[in-house]
Amino acid sequence: MSLSSVDVIRIPTSGPGDTSGLIKLIETGRIDPKSILAILGKTEGNGGVNDFTREYSTVALAGVLASRLGISTEEVEHRIAFVMSGGTEGVLSPHITVFTRTPLPASQARRTEGKRLSIGIAHTREFRPEELGRRAQIAETAAAVRKAMTEAAISDVADVHFVQVKCPLLTSERVDAAEARGAGTVTKSSYASMGYSRGASALGVALALGELAAEPREEDVLRRWDLFSAVASSSAGIELMHNVVVVMGNSVSSSSDLVIGHAVMKDAIDAAAVRAALGSVGLRADGTSNAAIGERIVNIFAKAEAAPDGLVRGLRHTMLNDTDISSTRHARAAVGGLVAGLAGTTAVYVSGGAEHQGPAGGGPVAVIARA
């Protein structure tokens, strides 16, 4: 079995256009641009439709990597999965997380004890607009998850701890194109299509990982909140028409220094779940040492959302009725405060829009830490 070395590096940014941290790590040899598989980032926009910090950050990073790799930015964006999550509300600190993988030559290969962090990436085929939020997106995503697991050399679904999906959304042009062919889309609203696409993608993950009793039906999307994946995290973006799936788990084929674990927050204040996620990678969240914990954490990945029934543990929240601040911003701020408090660091990846990603009002929380 061939081994690979997987690394994850978190880099603070001073703005959405700041690539200086990445450049420095490339120049010092800490990061080999050829080894980069994916970059997940938190950028300081509003996380909504008019959040251009995601696009700006992707353009800036792809530009740097294009010049370093001697390829075009289009090729960079095809080779590397860029997932920018807008919104650093409250204490959240803007940063990027770079995922690298290097095959180890047999001579260098040194078996680590136990399973270690492994990453696999796969793409679905291009979708037609009318397929978003529907059966095709679910099924194709499931197939891509299985493919990415194979690439990551993870055979047991129990070893999968986080699946980041980047998925398309509808624009009026895409809706029109579908209608011109006589095909209706699941919604005509761009904003609403983001939820459908995220939700169907998450159900695809759940399907691949055996988290559902039966194959989900199209009409379950955004309705049957009891159907969800405990490890899916999906983000919709305008720049693609297929899904990109990044599977993260532990594998015997990895000689990484890192491990990953996860838990599921049942609601937005589920401190016990955050502690369980920390505990799953050997970090004691005993309430006295969160600064120390922060040192060992490479990053935490969590999804946040406002409970759709308007309640957290029986008490009313006001996130869904606020016409001034969108509920995703509220949810990221609150869950970010809790996760950062327990983890002892604020450069954590808390992302909004958790349809079928964890239970309603809750969400997955995964931790990558030094073994």
> Per CB under 8 A, which of residues 347..366 are in contact with its own copies?
347
Residues with catalytic function: 166, 235
Work out whether strand 116-123 and strand 244-251 pair parallel, antiparallel, or are unpaired.
antiparallel
Binding residue per annotation — 369?
A: no
The nearer residue to its own copies, 249 or 361, going by C-beta atoms, is 361
Please state the length of the chain. Answer: 371
How many residues of this chain bind its own copies (CB under 8 A)?
73
Tell me if 203 sits within 8 A of 133, measured CB to CB: no
Check binding of 220 to its own copies (CB under 8 A).
no
Check binding of 313 to its own copies (CB under 8 A).
yes
Q: How far is the CB of 140 from its own copies (least distance, A)?
A: 28
Check binding of 335 to its own copies (CB under 8 A).
yes
The 147-186 site mask, x for binding its own copies (CB under 8 A), equals -------------------------x--------------
Check binding of 28 to its own copies (CB under 8 A).
no
Check binding of 271 to its own copies (CB under 8 A).
yes
Binding residue per annotation — 275?
A: no
Binding residue per annotation — 351?
A: yes
Question: Which listed residue (168, 344, 352, 358) binds its own copies by CB under 8 A?
Answer: 344
The nearer residue to its own copies, 144 or 300, going by C-beta atoms, is 300
Stretch binding its own copies (CB under 8 A), from 214-222, 226-234, 251-259, 267-275: 267-275
Question: Which listed residue (297, 338, 360, 369) binds its own copies by CB under 8 A?
Answer: 338
Check binding of 333 to its own copies (CB under 8 A).
yes
Q: How far is the CB of 362 from its own copies (least distance, A)?
A: 12
Cα(176)–Cα(28) distance, rounded to whole angstroms?
A: 49
- Please state the φ and ψ torsions of residue 155, each to the nearest 5 degrees: -105, -25
Check binding of 53 to its own copies (CB under 8 A).
yes
Binding residue per annotation — 86?
A: yes
The nearer residue to its own copies, 216 or 344, going by C-beta atoms, is 344
Work out whether strand 349-352 and strand 297-304 pair parallel, antiparallel, or are unpaired.
parallel
Check binding of 336 to its own copies (CB under 8 A).
yes
Stretch binding its own copies (CB under 8 A), from 87-95, 129-137, 161-169, 228-236: 87-95
Q: Which residues contact 10 (CB under 8 A, 6 or more apart)?
A: 95, 96, 97, 98, 298, 299, 347
Q: How far is the CB of 307 from its own copies (least distance, A)?
A: 9
Check binding of 89 to its own copies (CB under 8 A).
yes
The nearer residue to its own copies, 91 or 157, going by C-beta atoms, is 91
Binding residue per annotation — 105?
A: no
The 3 state secondary structure assigned to the chain is CCCEEEEEEEEECCCCCCCHHHHHHHHCCCCCHHHEEEEEEEECCCCCCCCCHHHHHHHHHHHHHHHHHCCCHHHHHHHCEEEEEECCCCCCCCEEEEEEEEECCCCCCCCCCCCEEEEEEEECCCCCHHHCCCHHHHHHHHHHHHHHHHHCCCCCHHHEEEEEEEECCCCHHHHHHHHHCCCCCCCCCHHHHHHHHHHHHHHHHHHHCCCCCCCCCHHHCCCCCCCCECCEEEEECCCCCCCEEEEEEEECCECCCEEEEEEEECCCCCHHHHHHHHHHCCCCCCCCCHHHHHHHEEEEEEEECCCCCCEECCEECCHHHCCCCCHHHHHHHHHHHHHHHHHCCCCCEEEECCCCECCCCCEEEEEEEEC
Question: Which listed residue (23, 30, 35, 56) binds its own copies by CB under 8 A?
Answer: 56
Check binding of 321 to its own copies (CB under 8 A).
yes
Give the residue numbers of the binding site for Mg(2+).
Answer: 305, 354, 357-359, 362
Give the residue numbers of the binding site for substrate.
Answer: 54, 85-86, 198, 235-236, 332, 351-352
Give the residue numbers of the binding site.
Answer: 54, 85-86, 198, 235-236, 305, 332, 351-352, 354, 357-359, 362
